[in-house]
Structure 1
Amino acid sequence: MKTLVIGATGNTGSILIPALIKSGQKVRAFVHHEQKAQALKEAGAEIYVGDLDRPETIDGALKDIDQVYFCLWNGPTAATQGINVINAIKRVGTNSFVVRHSAFGSKGSRIIQQIDEVDNALKASGLHWTSIRPTFFMQNLLMAASTVQQDGSIYWDWADGKVGMIDVRDVAESALGALTGKAEEGKEYVLTGPAPVSMKDVATTFSKKLGKKVNYVPVSHEASKQAMMGMGFPEFIVDGYIELNEGFSNGVANTSTKNVQLLTGHPARSVEDFASDFKDYFISHN
C-alpha cells in the first residue's frame, strides 16, 4: 500500500508516518516547506512539496496512491483546502480510500464549522472514506506547564465542564488502525479518553503525579483569549478555541467511546498516563 499523508508535519502526522512505514506501507508526505520534513525523510517517507491553497499542486501528489489521510490546520482557509483535496482526488480519478482527520466539538466554533464543511463535502463526493473525530488533545495541557511550574496552578476557561480528552498518541495510533484495515467505510469514529474529566480532575491527577499541590483556577473566556494572543496564536484560531471552550464548559464533549480500543487494540490512555509520561514538562528544573 502507498499512503499520501496530508498534514504530515503536524502533531498526528509526525507520529503516524513512522508507524505506517514500520507497518510496511510506503508513505508520501505532503508538506508546504521541505525543510520541516527532514525527520520524516530520514524515517523513510517520500517528500512531496505542495500548497493546499493551490489546487494544481495537489494532483501530482496523488499519483500511484492507494490511500489518503488528511488533517488540516485550524485557520480560516481550512474548508477551502479540504475541498481542494477532495476535488483533486475526484479529478485524478484515483480509487483511493480516504481517512479524514476530523474533530468532535462545539458546533458554535468556527473551527468545527469549517471541519464540518469539509466532512459534508467528503460524504457527498462519492469517494470511499472513513473519519476519525478526536476531542480535546491532552497535549494542549502543555500550555499550562509554565504556570504549574511557577505557582502550581492550571488557569483554564472550562468552568466545571468535563471533556473526554484524548492523548494525541492514541489519535495517531487510531489513524494507523484506520489505514490498516480496522475501520469501516462510511463510518465516523469519535475518539476520546477512557472517561470525561474536568480541569479540577486534571489538577488532582497532576498533584498526585508531580508530588506537589496543583490547583485549577477557572478564568473567563476573555482572559483566556488574551493569554493565547500573548502566545502568538492567530486571532481566528484563538476565537475558534474560545468557542470550543465555551462548548466544553457546557458539556458538549462530556462523553467517552471505545473507538480507540476498536482501532488500536488497546485502551485509550488516561490523564494519569499522560501526566506520568509528560511530568518533566511540568516540573521546574531551576
Structure 2
Amino acid sequence: MILVTGATGTIGSHVARLLTERGVPFRAMSRRRRPGGVRADFDDPASLARAVADVDAVFLVTVPPVPSAEHDIALIAAARAAGVRRIVKLSAIGSGERFEGTTVGAWHVAAEEAIEASGLGWTMLRPPSFASNLLWHRALIRAGEPVPNLAGDSRQAVVDPRDVAAVAVAALTDGAHEGRRYDLTGPTPLTFADQVAILGGVLGRRIGIADVDGLDRLPAGVATGVRWARSGAAAYVTDHVPRVLGRPAGTFERWARDHREAFTAPG
C-alpha cells in the first residue's frame, strides 16, 4: 500500500494516475474526504496515524502557506511509528546551496535531514520549474494579455511533471532507488521567453511578456530560491530522468502540444 500526499496537485495527481494504471494499491490523502482516499491534516497527528496505517511507502508533498519542514516532520514521525518502509519526497532543485548568505530551500533540507535520520528508506526528487507552471497564466493567455515574467533572462531545464511523477512511482515501487537524490530536469535549458515563444508557436499566435520583479510578495525562503535561479545557477541538465525511466525526458514543446486545449478552451 502506498500513501500519496498532495494527490490532487501537480505531481501527486499524475502519481495517482500512474499507480491506478499499473494496478498498484494506493491511498490518496487530502484534507477533504474523497472516494478511495483518507482525510488527514498535517497539523493533526491522530489523522496522520490513520493515514499511514498499513502503508509500505509514502509519496511526500507538503505545501504549507509559509515554507516550513514541520508538516514533513510530522508525517515522518507518523510513518516511522507505523512501520512504513520507504519515503519518496518531492523537494526542489538547488536545495542546500548557499546563496546571498542563506540556504536555498532550507525547509526542504531540514525535511530531507529528518528523513535520513529516521532510518526509513528514502529517495529525494529535486526538480526545477515545471513546464505546467504556465497553466497559472492560462486566463491571461486566452485573453491575449501579456504574462508576467519573474525569471528574467535566466534559464532552467524545465521538466514535464509527468516525468517527475514517473520517477516517483519508480522510486515508490523499487528499492533500487533508495538513498538517491535525483535532480529531475528536462532536456534543454530555456528562458521564460523561450517557453512562451514555444507555446505561442503551438497556439499559432504571439504571446506577450511583462517583466516584473514581484519578489517582495513572496515568502522570504521562496524569494531566495527565485533569486538563486535568476542568477543562472539552475541552468543545467542532468541524465537522471532518462537513467531512471529508460527514455529521454520530455520536451517543453511536447508538453505544450499535449496541453494546447488548456490555453484555448473557454473557462
Shared fold per TM-score greater than 0.5? yes
Task: Indicate if the aligned counterparts of 1:75 and 1:111 stay in contact, CA closer than 8 A.
Answer: no
Q: Which amino acid is 2:239 matched to?
A: K
* Secondary structure of 2:258 counterpart: helix
Give the Å deviation of 1:284: 7.4
Q: Distance in 2 between matches of 1:63 and 1:285?
A: 43
Q: Which amino acid is 2:246 matched to?
A: G
Aligned to 2:55: 65
- Runs of 5+ unmatched residues, structure 1: 226-234
Aligned to 2:5: 6
Task: Work out which of the residue numbers 72, 90, 97 in structure 2 matches 1:101.
Answer: 90
Q: 1:223-268, CA deviations, whole angstroms, 9 ceiling, x for partnerless residues?
A: x84xxxxxxxxx64xx554433222211121111122222333322
Q: Percent identity?
A: 29
Give the Å deviation of 1:74: 4.1
Greater helix fraction, Structure 1 or Structure 2: 1
Aligned to 2:74: 84
Q: 1:143 to 1:10 in 2, by over 3 A?
A: closer
CA root-mean-square deviation: 2.6
Q: Which amino acid is 1:220 matched to?
A: D
* Secondary structure of 2:177 counterpart: coil
* Secondary structure of 2:125 counterpart: strand
Q: Which amino acid is 1:24 matched to?
A: G
Q: Distance in 1 between matches of 2:132 and 2:64?
A: 16
* Secondary structure of 2:233 counterpart: coil
1:116-127 equivalence runs, <5 A: 116-127=109-120
Aligned to 1:20: 19
Q: Distance in 2 between matches of 1:162 and 1:48?
A: 39
Task: Work out which of the residue numbers 207, 210, 215 in structure 2 matches 1:217.
Answer: 210
1:1-286 equivalence runs, <5 A: 2-34=1-33, 37=34, 41=35, 46-76=36-66, 78-92=68-82, 94-105=83-94, 112-151=105-144, 153-181=146-174, 183-221=176-214, 225=217, 236=219, 239-283=220-264
Tell me the TM-score normalized by structure 2: 0.87
Q: Which amino acid is 1:264 matched to?
A: L
Q: 1:15-35, CA deviations, whole angstroms, 9 ceiling, x for partnerless residues?
A: 21232132232112222111x
Report the count of equivalent residues: 263
Q: Distance in 1 between matches of 2:178 and 2:241?
A: 17
Task: Indicate if the aligned counterparts of 2:171 and 2:178 stay in contact, CA closer than 8 A.
Answer: no
